C-alpha cells in the first residue's frame, strides 16, 4: 500500500505545475478489464507535445467470486505510468508507449484451483490505435507486453494454502493488457 | 469404342462444322457466287419540280408550223387494221442499263444510283464497308462509304465501349472523396477550433494560418486525412485514359464521314441503298464513272477485300452546249486627227524676248515642254503636224510695247523649240543607224516637217478678270473695286487706277506672273492613215468573254456580259440561271430556227405549259432531226417525251 501511494503521488505531481491550457488531459477506462472478473481501472493522460503524451493509471480488483462452487478471484492492485509516442497527433491515430508498473496480484480458480500471489515491478511496452468519435470521445484498441521481476511470489495448491508449491521470486514476461478503452479528452 | 470417346468425337466434329461456317461463306464470296453491285434504279427525274408534276395522260392539240392542227397521244399502230390505237406503256421494273444521261442544272448534277448487297453476303458477325469511287476527268474521288454492320459485330463494338465506360466510372473526379471528412472534422473541432468560429463569418479574411497549440495547420491535417494511395491510384487511372481507350475500343463506331451505317438484324432480303451524290460540274466534264469496292471486317480485322464492281457511267449534258459559238464583231470608227495642249510659264527679263534657260524657273518649265514634245515625236501611233505657240503678257507697262514684246517672245520660243526638235530628230536618226531596204539601197530617214505658228494675245485682261473673280483671298469689296476699274476702257489708265488699290501688290506679285504664260497647242494625225475616218470591225471581246463564261458554266458572269445583247446566247445563259420569263421574252422576238424552237419548248415545259412546249419541240424536230436525240438529254423535254410518247411516232415511221 505504501508503494501504491508513492506511485500515485508521483503521478499527481506530473499533473501539477505546468501551463494547464497548453496541454490536453484525457481519461480512459478499459472495457475488457471489467470482463476479467470485474477489474476496475482508470487511466489518465496528459499531452505535452504534438507527438508525446504522459500516462498514468491504476487497476484494482478486490472481488472474490464463487463460480460453480469454486472460489475464484483475480484480485490485483496495479499502478503504472509511462509515455506514449503518437506519429500524427496526440489522442488520434496510432501510438506506441512504454510504462513502468508495480503490480500486486492474487488469483485462483480461473484455470486451476491453485492460488498464485505475487508482487513486483516491471517494464512494459504497448501499442494501439485511437479512433476519434467526436471532439471529446474516442475509442482505443491496444495490446502490450510486460516484463519484470516478481520479488515476492507464492504458488499454493489451493486458496487455503495447504501445500506450497513454490515461493521463489523470479522474472516474468507475458503479454499484457489487451484493451478496448473509452477515452475522454477534455 | 468406349462411349466417352464416341461422344468426344461427335462433339469435336460438330465444333469443327460450326467453326467452318464463316470460312465457307468467305469461300463462296471469293468464288464470286455472291457479289455486291451497283445499279441504276428506276428513272425518276431528279428535278423535284418535274418529279412532282401530275401526269395527266390527256391528248394534246398542237399547231404545226404550217398551221395544221395535230393531235398527240400515246398510240401504236395496230398491225391487223393499220389504225392508230391509244395505249399505255408499263414502266419497266428494273433498269439494267449501265449508263444514264444526266443533265446539269445550276452548275450541279445529281448522280443517283443504288448499292445492292445480297443477303448471302451479310452475316451477323461481319461488318461490310462499301466504297463508291467516282472517276471524273483525271481525278478519282472516294465517296462516303456505306457500312452494313451485323448485330453480333455491333454488340462486340459496344462491349468495348462498355468496358471503357466502366473504367471511366472508376475514376473519381471529386478529389475530396479521398479525404476522411469525418475524422478530419472531428480532429479540427478538437484541435483547431478557431476555424469553426469563422465558418459563418463572411468577412474578407486572408488565408490565415490557423494552427493547433502544437503548430499543426489545417492543410497538414487535410493532407494527413487524405487517402494518399487512393489518390495516387486515381491519378494513374486518369493518366492512362487514352491508352485504355485504345485497349478497350479496338474498333470504334464511326459516325462522321460515312454515308450510312446500318445494323442488319433479320436481313433475309437484299440490302438496297439509294445513293445520291450531288457534284459541281466543271468545264469539259462529260462523263462520270462510278465503281464500287468494299471490305469485309470481322472482329475489327479485315478478312476480305471485295473486288471492284463493274462501272456505272453517267453522261452529263448541259444547256451551255446549245449556245451559238460564232464570232461576233462590232464596228469601230477611227479618227485621223487628234489634239493635245499644254501651258507653260516661261519667264523673260523685263523688256527682253530671248529665251534664257537659266533665268528663274525656266529650266524646269522648258524641260517639261521639251519632254512633252519629245514624247509626241516619239509616239508610235501619231505624227506631229504643227504646233501653235500663243504668248500673253501681264498688264504692267504700256499696251503697245506689251503687245510687241509678247509677239517677239512667242517667236523666240518657237525658234527655240524648232531647234530642239531638229536636234531630237537628228539624234533619233543617229541612234537608228544606217538602214538598208530589201533592194540593198540605203534608206534615208524621213524627217517630218513640223510647222510652228506663233500668236500673241498681248495683255491678257480676260484671264486676269477670271482669276480675280475666282480668287479666294480677295474680299467681295476688293473684287467689286476691281470691277469698278474694269469700266475704264484704256488698259493703261486702268492699270494706273489699280496701282492705287491696297490689293495691287498682291495682284502684282501673285496673279501677274500667271498671265505671262505661253500656251502650246499640238496637232497630230495617226501615222499611215490617209482618210479622215475609217470604219473597222473588231472582235467583240465582251461578247466572246461572255460565251467563254457560258462554256465554263460560270452563268452569272455570262449573263452579266451577254445581257445587253438580248440575243439567242443571252437566252441560253438566262435559262441556265432559271430566269425563264426573261429568256422567254427574248426568244419570242427571235426568228423561229430549230434551236430557238427547242429553247422555247424548254421554257414552256418549265413554266408548265405542256401544249406550247410540245408544239415547239415537234416543230424543232421537224426542222432538225438531231433535236430528237437532244431531247432525251434535257429532263424538261424528256419528261414530255415520256408522257406523250412523242418520239415513238418517228421511231415507228423509221420502221
B39-67 tens-digit pLDDT? 776 655 444 444 445 445 556 666 766 77
**Can you give the pTM of this predicted structure?**
0.53
The CA distance from A147 to A153, in Å, is 15
Radius of gyration of chain B (CA): 49
The CA distance from B630 to B321, in Å, is 10
**Other C-beta atoms within 10 Å of A119: how many?**
18
Q: If you ran DSSP here, which 8-state letter would residue B179 be given? A: B
pLDDT computed for residue A54 by the predictor: 94
> In sequence order, what DSSP letters do the residues of B374-440 get, joined into one string?
HHHHH-SSEEEEEEEEEEEE-SSS-HHHHHHHHHHHHHHHHHHHHHHHHHHHHHHHHHH--EE-TTS
User: Residue B67, Cα to own-chain centre: how many angstroms?
Assistant: 47
pLDDT band at residue A125 using 50, 70 and 90 as cut-offs? very high
* CB-based contact, A88 to chain B, within 8 Å: yes
CB A149, CB A120: distance < 8 Å: yes
pLDDT computed for residue B18 by the predictor: 64
Reading the block at residue A66, the C-alpha cell is: 464463487
CA distance B170 to chain A (A): 29
**Other C-beta atoms within 10 Å of B179: how many?**
18
Least confident window among B198-202, B413-417, B460-464: B198-202
Least confident window among A114-128, B185-199, B602-616: B185-199
- Spatial neighbors of B7 by CB under 8 A, at least 6 apart, are none
pLDDT computed for residue B549 by the predictor: 86
Higher pLDDT, B427 or A10: B427
CB–CB of B190 and A135 under 8 A?
A: yes
B264-302 tens-digit pLDDT? 765 567 788 888 889 888 777 888 999 988 888 888 788
Chain B residue with CA closest to A186: the answer is B190
CB–CB of A89 and B183 under 8 A?
A: no
- Percentage of chain A beyond pLDDT 90 is 47
The H-or-E segment that residue B454 falls in is strand B451-459
* Average pLDDT over every residue of B124-148: 89
Higher pLDDT, B349 or B154: B154
pLDDT computed for residue A46 by the predictor: 93
Residue A20 clears pLDDT 60, i.e. is over it? no
Least confident window among A13-27, B399-413, B503-517: A13-27
B105-121 tens-digit pLDDT? 877 888 888 888 888 88
- Phi-psi sector, B566: left (phi>0), alpha (psi -120 to 50), beta: left
For residue B212, the chain A residues in CB contact (below 8 A) are 50, 89
CB–CB of B190 and A50 under 8 A?
A: no
CB B227, CB B235: distance < 8 Å: no
3-state secondary structure of B44: coil
Residue B414 clears pLDDT 80, i.e. is over it? yes
Least confident window among B173-182, B199-208, B449-458: B199-208
* Average pLDDT over every residue of B536-562: 85
pLDDT band at residue B91 using 50, 70 and 90 as cut-offs? very low
In sequence order, the β-bridge partners of residue B102 are B316
The CA distance from B325 to B569, in Å, is 8
- Which candidate in B180, B181, B184, B187 is best for mutational testing of the A interface (most A CBs within 10 A)? B187
- Give the residue among B112, B115, B134 at the shortest CA–CA distance from B45: B112
pLDDT computed for residue B451 by the predictor: 79
Q: What is the mean pLDDT of chain B?
A: 80
Residue A3 clears pLDDT 70, i.e. is over it? yes
pLDDT computed for residue B204 by the predictor: 58
Least confident window among A81-90, B499-508, B579-588: B499-508
* Residue B245 Cα distances to B84, B238, B248, B251, B300, angstroms: 74, 11, 5, 10, 15
pLDDT computed for residue B52 by the predictor: 47
* CB-based contact, A5 to chain B, within 8 Å: no
pLDDT computed for residue B48 by the predictor: 46
pLDDT band at residue A42 using 50, 70 and 90 as cut-offs? very high
Higher pLDDT, A13 or B305: B305
In B49-151, beta strands by DSSP E: 60-63, 69-72, 75-77, 84-86, 99-104, 108-117, 126-136, 139-142, 146-150
pLDDT computed for residue B92 by the predictor: 35
> Which among A89, A131, A132 is the nearest to B216, CB-wise?
A89
CA distance B195 to chain A (A): 14
- Give the residue among B413, B319, B318 at the shortest CA–CA distance from B370: B413
CB–CB of A134 and B213 under 8 A?
A: no
Q: What is the ipTM of this complex?
A: 0.79
Residue A19 clears pLDDT 70, i.e. is over it? no
Q: If you ran DSSP here, which 8-state letter would residue B213 be given? A: T
How many helices (H) does chain B have, and how many strands (E)? Answer: 24, 23
Q: The cell 452579266 sits on which residue?
A: B560
pLDDT computed for residue A164 by the predictor: 81
CB–CB of B190 and A136 under 8 A?
A: yes
**Other C-beta atoms within 10 Å of B2: how many?**
7
In A86-136, beta strands by DSSP E: 93-108, 115-132
Residue A95 clears pLDDT 90, i.e. is over it? yes
3-state secondary structure of B6: helix
* CB-based contact, A92 to chain B, within 8 Å: yes
Residue A83 clears pLDDT 70, i.e. is over it? yes
pLDDT computed for residue B301 by the predictor: 84
Of A137-141, B1-5, B120-124, which one has max mean pLDDT? Answer: A137-141
For residue B214, the chain A residues in CB contact (below 8 A) are 49-50, 89-90
CB B313, CB B135: distance < 8 Å: no
pLDDT computed for residue B21 by the predictor: 67
pLDDT computed for residue A57 by the predictor: 93
The H-or-E segment that residue B17 falls in is helix B3-31
In sequence order, the β-bridge partners of residue B86 are B75
* Average pLDDT over every residue of B182-190: 89
pLDDT computed for residue A147 by the predictor: 93
pLDDT band at residue B443 using 50, 70 and 90 as cut-offs? low
Of B37-41, B80-84, B184-188, which one has max mean pLDDT? Answer: B184-188
CB–CB of A50 and B224 under 8 A?
A: no
* Average pLDDT over every residue of B54-82: 65
* Average pLDDT over every residue of B187-199: 80
In sequence order, the β-bridge partners of residue B6 are none
* Residue B543 Cα distances to B283, B519, B559, angstroms: 19, 44, 10
Q: The cell 539624234 sits on which residue?
A: B427
CA distance B230 to chain A (A): 19
For residue B215, the chain A residues in CB contact (below 8 A) are 50
> Which among B187, B193, B213 is the nearest to A22, CB-wise?
B213
* Residue B117 Cα distances to B230, B258, B264, B309, B431, angstroms: 53, 17, 12, 12, 84
Residue B318 clears pLDDT 80, i.e. is over it? yes
pLDDT computed for residue B85 by the predictor: 66
The CA distance from B144 to B161, in Å, is 25
CA distance B175 to chain A (A): 22
Amino acid at each position: 500500500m505504501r508503494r501504491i501511494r508513492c506511485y500515485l503521488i508521483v503521478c499527481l505531481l506530473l499533473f501539477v505545475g505546468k501551463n494547464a491550457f497548453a496541454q490536453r488531459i484525457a481519461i480512459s477506462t478499459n472495457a475488457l478489464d471489467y470482463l476479467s472478473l470485474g477489474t476496475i481501472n482508470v487511466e489518465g493522460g496528459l499531452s505535452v507535445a504534438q507527438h508525446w503524451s504522459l500516462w498514468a493509471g491504476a487497476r484494482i480488483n478486490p472481488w472474490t467470486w464463487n463460480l460453480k462452487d469454486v472460489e475464484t478471484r483475480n484480485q490485483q492492485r496495479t499502478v503504472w505510468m509511462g509515455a506514449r509516442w503518437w506519429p500524427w497527433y496526440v489522442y488520434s491515430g496510432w501510438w506506441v508507449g512504454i510504462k513502468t508498473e508495480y503490480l500486486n496480484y492474487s488469483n485462483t480458480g480461473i484455470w486451476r484451483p491453485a492460488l498464485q500471489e505475487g508482487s513486483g515491478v516491471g517494464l512494459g511496452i504497448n501499442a494501439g490505435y485511437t479512433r476519434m468519435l467526436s471532439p471529446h470521445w474516442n475509442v482505443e484498441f491496444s495490446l502490450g507486453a510486460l516484463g519484470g521481476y516478481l520479488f515476492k511470489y507464492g504458488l499454493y495448491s489451493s486458496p487455503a494454502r495447504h501445500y506450497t508449491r513454490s515461493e521463489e521470486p523470479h522474472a516474468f514476461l507475458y503479454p499484457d493488457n489487451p484493451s478496448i478503452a473509452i477515452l475522454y479528452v477534455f | 469404342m468406349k462411349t466417352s470417346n464416341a461422344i468426344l468425337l461427335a462433339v469435336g466434329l460438330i465444333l469443327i462444322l460450326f467453326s467452318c461456317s464463316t470460312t465457307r461463306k468467305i469461300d463462296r464470296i471469293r468464288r464470286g457466287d455472291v457479289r455486291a453491285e451497283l445499279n441504276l434504279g428506276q428513272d425518276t427525274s431528279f428535278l423535284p419540280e418535274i418529279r412532282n408534276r401530275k401526269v395527266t395522260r390527256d391528248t394534246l392539240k398542237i399547231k404545226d408550223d404550217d398551221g395544221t392542227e395535230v393531235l398527240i397521244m400515246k398510240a401504236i399502230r395496230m398491225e391487223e387494221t393499220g389504225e392508230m390505237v391509244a395505249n399505255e406503256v408499263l414502266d419497266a421494273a428494273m433498269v439494267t442499263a449501265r449508263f444514264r444521261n444526266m443533265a446539269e442544272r445550276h452548275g450541279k448534277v445529281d448522280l443517283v444510283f443504288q448499292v445492292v448487297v445480297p443477303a448471302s453476303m451479310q452475316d451477323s458477325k461481319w461488318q461490310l464497308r462499301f466504297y463508291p469511287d467516282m472517276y471524273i476527268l483525271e481525278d478519282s474521288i472516294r465517296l462516303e462509304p456505306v457500312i452494313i454492320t451485323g448485330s453480333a459485330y455491333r454488340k462486340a463494338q459496344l462491349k468495348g465501349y462498355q468496358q471503357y465506360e466502366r473504367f471511366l466510372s472508376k475514376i473519381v473526379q471529386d478529389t475530396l472523396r479521398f479525404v476522411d471528412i469525418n475524422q478530419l472534422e472531428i480532429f479540427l473541432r478538437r484541435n483547431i477550433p478557431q476555424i469553426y468560429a469563422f465558418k459563418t463569418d463572411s468577412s474578407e479574411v486572408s488565408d490565415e494560418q490557423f494552427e493547433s497549440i502544437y503548430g499543426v495547420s489545417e492543410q497538414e491535417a487535410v493532407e494527413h486525412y487524405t487517402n494518399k494511395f487512393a489518390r495516387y491510384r486515381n491519378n494513374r487511372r486518369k493518366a492512362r485514359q487514352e491508352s485504355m481507350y485504345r485497349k478497350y475500343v479496338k474498333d470504334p463506331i464511326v459516325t462522321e464521314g460515312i454515308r450510312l451505317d446500318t445494323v442488319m438484324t433479320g436481313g433475309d432480303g437484299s440490302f438496297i441503298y439509294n445513293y445520291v451524290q450531288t457534284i459541281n460540274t466543271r468545264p469539259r466534264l462529260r462523263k462520270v464513272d462510278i465503281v464500287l469496292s468494299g471490305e469485309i471486317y470481322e472482329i475489327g480485322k479485315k478478312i476480305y477485300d471485295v473486288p471492284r464492281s463493274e462501272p456505272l457511267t453517267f453522261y452529263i449534258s448541259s444547256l451551255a452546249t446549245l449556245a451559238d459559238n460564232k464570232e461576233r464583231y462590232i464596228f469601230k470608227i477611227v479618227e485621223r486627227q487628234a489634239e493635245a495642249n499644254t501651258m507653260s510659264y516661261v519667264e523673260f527679263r523685263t523688256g527682253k524676248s530671248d529665251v534664257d534657260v537659266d533665268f528663274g524657273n525656266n529650266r524646269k518649265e522648258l524641260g517639261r515642254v521639251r519632254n512633252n514634245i519629245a514624247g509626241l515625236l516619239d509616239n508610235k501611233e501619231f505624227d506631229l503636224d504643227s504646233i501653235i505657240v500663243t504668248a500673253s503678257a501681264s498688264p504692267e507697262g504700256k499696251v503697245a510695247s506689251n503687245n510687241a514684246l509678247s509677239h517677239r517672245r512667242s517667236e523666240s520660243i518657237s525658234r527655240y523649240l524648232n531647234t530642239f526638235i531638229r536636234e531630237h530628230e537628228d539624234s533619233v536618226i543617229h541612234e537608228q543607224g544606217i538602214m538598208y531596204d530589201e533592194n540593198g539601197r540605203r534608206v534615208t530617214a524621213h524627217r517630218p516637217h513640223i510647222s510652228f505658228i506663233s500668236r500673241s494675245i498681248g495683255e491678257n485682261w480676260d484671264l486676269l478678270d477670271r482669276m480675280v473673280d475666282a480668287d479666294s483671298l480677295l474680299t467681295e469689296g476688293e473684287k467689286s473695286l476691281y470691277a469698278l476699274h474694269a469700266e475704264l476702257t484704256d488698259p493703261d489708265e486702268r492699270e494706273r487706277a489699280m496701282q492705287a488699290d491696297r490689293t495691287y501688290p498682291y495682284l502684282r506679285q501673285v496673279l501677274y506672273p500667271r498671265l505671262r504664260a505661253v500656251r502650246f497647242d499640238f496637232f497630230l494625225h495617226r501615222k499611215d492613215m490617209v482618210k479622215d475616218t475609217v470604219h473597222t470591225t473588231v472582235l467583240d471581246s465582251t461578247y466572246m468573254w461572255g460565251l467563254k463564261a457560258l462554256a465554263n458554266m460560270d452563268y452569272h458572269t455570262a449573263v452579266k456580259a451577254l445581257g445587253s445583247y438580248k440575243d439567242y446566247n443571252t437566252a441560253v445563259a438566262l435559262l441556265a440561271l432559271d430566269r425563264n420569263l426573261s429568256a422567254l421574252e427574248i426568244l419570242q422576238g427571235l426568228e423561229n430556227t430549230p434551236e430557238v424552237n427547242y429553247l422555247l419548248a424548254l421554257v414552256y415545259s418549265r413554266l408548265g405549259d405542256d401544249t406550247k412546249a410540245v408544239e415547239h419541240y415537234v416543230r424543232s424536230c421537224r426542222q432538225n432531226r438531231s433535236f430528237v436525240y437532244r431531247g432525251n438529254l434535257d429532263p424538261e423535254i424528256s419528261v414530255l417525251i415520256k408522257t406523250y410518247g412523242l418520239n415513238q411516232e418517228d421511231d415507228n415511221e423509221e420502221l
